[in-house]
């Protein structure tokens, strides 16, 4: 049966849609100066970072909301400051992935599948245990940021590597504050 002109047009359009997406991605990657074969590695590394940072943001907020005791005001405000820093990281990381032409996080369930940060829904956590847990999470995040930095450097994605350097500094600062706040007199252990 002969196809109508609108059917032919739709088919041509769908073929074009199927082939143009990878071409667009390659073009975007080329514009970013990143080798096209390395783009997938950089995007995968950044997407797991988005998930980790978002999960740590929620966890920090959780402890900010639920902390109590004689140091309430100090701990509550420290964790608010940390949560703001973490939230501010999410958008630039996800947008780096889009600038490379790759898809990024789409939902909370997408985050849950990728996150390496462990959630903590406990009801009776002591304030010091909250801070100690966040200290470990931030130390782990600093390690993962370094790993992502290596992936970006190998791919010559200098823009992302440069952003990551600032986030390593911020993450180490959060870890420092959490360490000093939880440190017992005489202890030097980090
Ligand atoms: Fe608040």
DSSP for 110-124, written as a single string: HHHHH--SPP---SS
Q: How far is the CA of 79 from the centre of ligand 1 (A)?
A: 9
* Domain range annotation of the chain: 32-182
pLDDT exceeds cutoff 90 at 118: yes
Q: How far is the CA of 73 from the centre of ligand 1 (A)?
A: 11
Q: How far is the CA of 76 from the centre of ligand 1 (A)?
A: 8
Q: How far is the CA of 56 from the centre of ligand 1 (A)?
A: 15
Distance CA 77, CA 170 (A): 17
pLDDT bracket for residue 12 (50, 70, 90): very low
pLDDT bracket for residue 8 (50, 70, 90): very low
pLDDT bracket for residue 5 (50, 70, 90): very low
Q: How far is the CA of 144 from the centre of ligand 1 (A)?
A: 27
Distance CA 97, CA 49 (A): 11
Per-residue model confidence as pLDDT tens digits over 33-71: 677 779 999 999 999 999 999 999 999 999 999 999 999
Mean pLDDT (the chain) is: 88
Q: How far is the CA of 77 from the centre of ligand 1 (A)?
A: 8
32-182: CATH topology is Ferritin (1.20.1260)
């Amino acid at each position: 049966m002969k196809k109508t002109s609108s059917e032919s047009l739709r088919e041509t359009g769908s073929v074009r849609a199927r082939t143009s997406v990878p071409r667009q991605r390659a073009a975007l990657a080329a514009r970013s100066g990143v080798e096209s074969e390395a783009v997938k590695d950089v995007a995968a590394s950044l997407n797991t970072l988005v998930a980790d940072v978002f999960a740590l943001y929620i966890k920090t907020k959780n402890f900010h909301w639920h902390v109590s005791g004689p140091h309430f005001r100090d701990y509550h405000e420290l964790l608010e400051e940390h949560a703001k820093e973490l939230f501010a990281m999410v958008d630039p990381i996800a947008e780096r992935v889009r600038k490379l032409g790759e898809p990024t996080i789409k939902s909370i369930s997408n985050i849950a599948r990728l996150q390496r940060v462990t959630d903590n829904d406990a009801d009776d956590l002591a304030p010091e245990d909250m801070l100690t847990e966040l200290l470990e999470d931030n130390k782990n995040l600093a390690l993962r940021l370094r790993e992502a930095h290596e992936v970006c450097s190998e791919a010559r994605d200098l823009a992302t590597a440069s952003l990551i350097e600032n986030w390593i500094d911020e993450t180490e600062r959060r870890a420092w504050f959490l360490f000093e706040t939880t440190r017992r007199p005489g202890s030097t252990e980090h």
